């Protein structure tokens, strides 16, 4: 199984992702570590990344997903994946990829970011992330999970929902 834990900065992707990987016995990769230095410098300056900044990064992440799939390894990867086209790029070589969307309100996540230390993403960029965010559509089969619980509660909910069978599509009425 390949999993991407997605959401805006400060939603808990790394913390929840590590818990999921540990509990499932999967490898874990922090997507931010794959950003080229130019992207990190840009974000440190408070400049949001554009698509041209993201494509090479997303391609590197896609390569990691592909390698895990080819090796038959479970992998949990963190990535903001804010737009559908980014998620489509990630799943292009991994059609069974599952997205876990950590959903939260701007004020809740902003408060968390203000207490976070040592990360290159300044809280001032959070609003631009919410503006860019395209929540996953039903056809993407993503699991949306509230960030209101503790990371342990969120991980427990995600694992339970991943284990549940997918609901069949409602019958078509003609």
Tell which wins on pLDDT, 126 or 150: 150
Q: Can you give the pLDDT at residue 115?
A: 60
Model confidence at 24: pLDDT above 90: yes
Q: With bands split at pLDDT 50, 70 and 90, how would you rate the model's confidence at 169?
A: very low
Residue 28 contacts residue 18 (beta carbons within 8 Å): yes
Looking at per-residue pLDDT, the higher value among 56 and 127 belongs to: 56
User: Does pLDDT of 14 surpass 50?
Assistant: yes
Long-range contacts of 132-135 (CB under 8 A, 24+ apart): 132/48, 132/82, 132/83, 133/8, 133/82, 133/83, 134/82, 134/83, 134/84, 135/101, 135/103
Kind and range of the H or E element at 5?
A: strand 2-6
Q: Where would I find the beta strands (DSSP E) of 11-155? A: 27-30, 75-78, 98-103, 143-146
Residue 25 has pLDDT above 60, yes or no: yes
State the pLDDT at residue 166: 56
Give the model confidence (pLDDT) of 54-101 as tens digits. Answer: 999 999 999 999 999 999 999 999 999 999 999 999 999 888 899 999
Within 10 A of 156 (CB to CB), how many other CB atoms are there?
Answer: 15
In percent, the amount of the chain with pLDDT more than 90 equals: 62
Range 125-146 average pLDDT: 88
- pTM for the model: 0.86
Give the integer Cα–Cα distance in Å for 13 and 4. 9
Q: Is the model's pLDDT at 168 over the cut of 50?
A: no
pLDDT of residue 111: 72
Q: Looking at per-residue confidence, does 167 or 109 come out higher?
A: 109
Domains identified in the chain and CATH numbers: 2-163 (3.40.50.300)
């Amino acid at each position: 199984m390949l999993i991407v834990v997605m959401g805006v900065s400060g939603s808990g992707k790394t913390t929840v992702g590590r818990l999921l990987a540990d509990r499932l016995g999967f490898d874990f990769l922090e997507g931010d570590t794959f950003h080229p230095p130019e992207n990190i410098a840009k974000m440190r300056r408070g400049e949001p990344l554009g698509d041209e900044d993201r494509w090479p990064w997303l391609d590197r992440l896609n390569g990691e997903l592909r390698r895990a799939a080819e090796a038959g390894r479970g992998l949990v990867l963190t990535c903001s994946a804010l737009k559908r086209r980014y998620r489509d790029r990630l799943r292009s070589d991994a059609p069974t990829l599952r997205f876990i969307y950590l959903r939260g309100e701007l004020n809740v996540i902003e408060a968390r970011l203000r207490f976070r230390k040592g990360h290159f993403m300044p809280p001032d960029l959070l609003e631009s992330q919410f503006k860019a965010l395209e929540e996953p559509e039903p056809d993407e089969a993503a699991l949306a999970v509230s960030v209101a619980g503790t990371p342990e509660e969120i991980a427990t909910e995600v694992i339970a929902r991943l284990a549940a069978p997918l609901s069949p599509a409602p019958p078509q009425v003609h």
